[in-house]
Amino acid sequence: MPDSPRFLMCPPDCYQVDYVINVWMEGNVDRSSRERAAEQWRGLHAVLQAHAEVELVPPAQGWPDMVFTANAGLVLGKTAIVSRFFHPERQGEEPHFKDWFEQAGFTVHELPEDLPFEGAGDALLDREGRWLWAGYGPRSELDSHPFLARWLGIEVLSLRLVDKRFYHLDTCFCPLAGGYLLYYPAAFDAYSNGLIERRVPAAKRFAVPEPDAVSFVCNAVNVGRKLIVNQAGEATRAWLGTAGFEVIETPLTEFMKAGGAAKCLTLRLDEAERADTRAIAAVESREVRLEGHLLDSGLLDRALDLIVDGAGSFQILEFNLGKQRQSTSDARLKVSAPSAEALERIMGQLIVLGAAGADGVGERGPRLEAVIQAGVAPADFSVTTIYPTEVKTARGWTRVEGQRMDGVIVVGSDGRAECRLIRDLQVGEQVVTGVDGIRLPRKTESREAAAEPGGAAADEFGFMGAGVSSERRVELVVEQIAWELRRIRDQGGKVVVVAGPVVIHTGGGAHLAGLIREGYVHVLLGGNAVAVHDMEQNILGTSLGMDMQRGVSVHGGHRHHLKVINTVRAHGGIAQTVAAGDLHGGVMYECVRRGVPFSLAGSIRDDGPLPDTVMDLLQAQADYARLIRGADMILMLSSMLHSIGVGNMTPAGVKLVCVDINPAVVTKLADRGSVESVGVVTDVGLFLSLLVAQLARLNGVHAAV
């Protein structure tokens, strides 16, 4: 039978579950029956022999998984790429399979020793021979794919496996004759699913239900229109029937205990080459360098995690470990991704961690694209972060001015670089796109800051460890904030307070007013409500109609805030109300008296609004941005809306303190990856009273709290 299909199998004489290298093996060590396994193997062999020629490789003592010949290697035409096993438990199979391929007359290729690739378990030819589907993640490395493309002269489509039950591509993916496909989509990441959907028309692919997937229906041997499987459920059978396939079931439960079924037990040997295929692998790689306290600050971990989460893979090419506690380490990594876009996404994130290109590419200038519609950026624009950023321009590495997050970088003809909001872009301006020519020189995170998040260990502003302080730490944190506030005031620095109305409701208004009076606050940012409630309290003695002294609601109090708004509107604004003698104390009064600039940003729920409230939000954003410029510290007091707004505008390096009763809000604000932010989960009224008391203590005054 010269044209009959040929398969390689390995008798199960040495087969048993001896170790655990996948989730199927867990709990099955020594639980497989040799006799039943032999009987089931003979069953498969017989079925296969009815439709194909079967050759045998002799089993080798001590290598129980040799029975799974799909992992011997990958064959196309007269070429065989022998496997490089990921687990040492299987690496001893490699020379046996290599010998067999050589004796069978194949031209054998071997991958570099540290590059795992598990053969036809992770590489499946489209049954029309047009391309090769190649899996990566649990066992095979993405970096093996370009070798496959080159040696086999075929296009390789990389698919990332994300479900540990489906650790090889052939456990969840089965290309069929006629361009059909059985697969289990949940075993793949979104990018891979998109790739599958683009290559195989909907009418030709069937997403198997989970019960079928875990019975390894995709681990099937396809010979012509026959499909040999362990077991197939009704829906899968029906679809296969309609597509013109005949299902032949043969029980392989003993092998399922090791995570394999029909396909794993066979290797197709007569894969025909097509004349019209070309070597193509979309895999892209770049080298990057990371420096800093890579291990103790967790930077290396974070970098590797984000590469893997971004569907990429990595090799550590070089690692120089700093020997002293204070010395830094550096690493050179090769980062690979299944496509140029995926690599660019990963690189964008690595750059934020402070990585720099180490392959010369990072030394190229940025890709600049002109704005062709005002207020609209070129599609591939780079997004800015809070971190100081440099761009390679005609002037060399140039610091981006006006750094903030969620902006874009505009490079002028003079080589200056500036951070700009998209809406402010003008036609013709040159915007940085992609990831080349950008770097974020990050300050090295200290070992102490990393070791003690939120802790008070280090020298200046020690508690600032991007940590969230729990209740028992509040006093400690307050002591340090008080210390900083005094230092900044005495050195002529700038403190911005962002406050919500809760400050007033919780009785913190008088404390905040005191801080303004004492010169600790240099800008106040808020909304309509904080001002309305502060003035209600100071004009009528209530906050939202509640008597602040007695804690009871006042008859007709629900009208109070409107009465206050009405009064201020009658005067034409807050400053005018103070000047007219109708406002005698409180937060807004102190701002006016001390000339502390404030901005009240409007919102959809505002009553009134006050004449001072800026209802043009773009104007309000611009006012906020202008007022926070040059700030040394920003205290964010119980206003999620305004605090997040301010957080987005603030570059790294400004000390941020976020006080909120809700840990989620605090985490969101403090978690900017910046060592200068701290969150305090507590009642804002309590926080302010502690702060004022601590300042009084520092100043040698006893304050009544």
* Catalytic site positions: 168, 264
Q: From residue 366 to residue 405, what is the string marking binding to ligand NAD with x (rule CB under 6 A)?
A: ----------------------------------------
Q: Applying CB under 6 A, does 170 fall inside the site for ligand NAD?
A: no
Closest contact distance (angstroms) between CB of 533 and ligand NAD is 8
Preceding peptide of 138 cis, ω within 30°: no
Binder among 158, 506, 621, 677 for ligand NAD (CB under 6 A): 506
Closest contact distance (angstroms) between CB of 650 and ligand NAD is 17
Q: Tell me, what amino acid is at 1?
A: M
Signed CA dihedral, 373, 376, 380, 382: sign only: positive
Residues in the chain: 705
Distances in whole angstroms, Cα of residue 545 to Cα of each of 277, 505, 510, 553, 608: 79, 10, 17, 6, 16
Closest contact distance (angstroms) between CB of 193 and ligand NAD is 37
Which residue number places its CB atom closest to ligand NAD? 527
Q: Applying CB under 6 A, does 40 fall inside the site for ligand NAD?
A: no
How many binding residues for ligand NAD (CB under 6 A)? Answer: 24
Pick 60 or 615: Cβ nearer ligand NAD: 615
Q: Applying CB under 6 A, does 683 fall inside the site for ligand NAD?
A: yes
Stretch that binds ligand NAD, among 151-159, 199-207, 468-476, 656-664 (CB under 6 A): 656-664
Distances in whole angstroms, Cα of residue 369 to Cα of each of 223, 373, 394, 414: 53, 12, 16, 16
Which tokens hold the place of 568?
Answer: 């201020």
Q: Applying CB under 6 A, does 138 fall inside the site for ligand NAD?
A: no
Distances in whole angstroms, Cα of residue 235 to Cα of each of 183, 201, 208, 229, 246: 13, 19, 8, 15, 14
Pick 253 or 667: Cβ nearer ligand NAD: 667
Q: Applying CB under 6 A, does 662 fall inside the site for ligand NAD?
A: yes
Q: What residues contact residue 266 under an 8 Å CB cut-off, 6+ apart? A: 7, 8, 9, 44, 48, 69, 70, 221
End-to-end CA distance of the chain: 98
CA angle 655, 659, 664 (to 5 degrees): 105
Closest contact distance (angstroms) between CB of 705 and ligand NAD is 17
Stretch that binds ligand NAD, among 122-130, 141-149, 347-355, 654-662 (CB under 6 A): 654-662
Closest contact distance (angstroms) between CB of 637 and ligand NAD is 8
Pick 495 or 665: Cβ nearer ligand NAD: 665
Quote the radius of gyration of the chain (alpha carbons, Å).
34
Phi-psi region of 673 (alpha: psi -120 to 50; beta: other; left: phi over 0): left
Binder among 25, 502, 627, 635 for ligand NAD (CB under 6 A): 502
Report which secondary-structure segment, H or E, holds 495.
strand 495-499
Residue 237 CB neighbours (<10 A): 18
Q: Applying CB under 6 A, does 307 fall inside the site for ligand NAD?
A: no
Closest contact distance (angstroms) between CB of 582 and ligand NAD is 19
Question: Taking a C-beta distance cutoff of 8 angstroms, is the pair 638, 659 a contact?
Answer: yes
Pick 402 or 611: Cβ nearer ligand NAD: 611
Binder among 449, 684, 688, 695 for ligand NAD (CB under 6 A): 684
Which tokens hold the place of 195?
Answer: 């790739």
3-class DSSP string for 389-420? CEEEECCEEEECECCCCCCEEEECCCCCEEEE
**Binders in 510-549 for ligand NAD, by CB under 6 A:** 527-529, 532
Q: Applying CB under 6 A, does 641 fall inside the site for ligand NAD?
A: yes
Half-sphere exposure of 349 (CA within 13 A, CB side): 19
Distance CA 426, CA 370 (A): 9
Closest contact distance (angstroms) between CB of 568 and ligand NAD is 12
Q: Applying CB under 6 A, does 120 fall inside the site for ligand NAD?
A: no
Short-list 531, 638, 642, 641, CA closest to 591:
531
Closest contact distance (angstroms) between CB of 635 and ligand NAD is 12
Q: Convert 486-513 to b/e letters by CB count within 10 Å (16 or more is b).
A: bebbeeeebbbbbbbbbbbbbbbbbbbb
H helix intervals, 519-672: 528-540, 560-571, 574-579, 587-594, 617-628, 640-649, 663-670
Pick 17 or 515: Cβ nearer ligand NAD: 515
Q: Applying CB under 6 A, does 640 fall inside the site for ligand NAD?
A: yes
**Binders in 554-613 for ligand NAD, by CB under 6 A:** 561, 603, 605-607
Pick 257 or 561: Cβ nearer ligand NAD: 561
Pick 473 or 561: Cβ nearer ligand NAD: 561
Backbone phi and psi for residue 54, each to the nearest 5 degrees, phi listed first: -120, 125
Closest contact distance (angstroms) between CB of 526 and ligand NAD is 7
Q: Applying CB under 6 A, does 93 fall inside the site for ligand NAD?
A: no
Binder among 266, 384, 446, 638 for ligand NAD (CB under 6 A): 638
Closest contact distance (angstroms) between CB of 696 and ligand NAD is 22
Question: Taking a C-beta distance cutoff of 8 angstroms, is the pair 293, 445 a contact?
Answer: yes
Q: From residue 451 to residue 490, what is the string marking binding to ligand NAD with x (rule CB under 6 A)?
A: ----------------------------------------
Pick 214 or 554: Cβ nearer ligand NAD: 554
Closest contact distance (angstroms) between CB of 618 and ligand NAD is 15
Q: Applying CB under 6 A, does 661 fall inside the site for ligand NAD?
A: yes
What are the residues binding ligand NAD (CB under 6 A)? 500-502, 506, 527-529, 532, 561, 603, 605-607, 638-642, 660-662, 665, 683-684
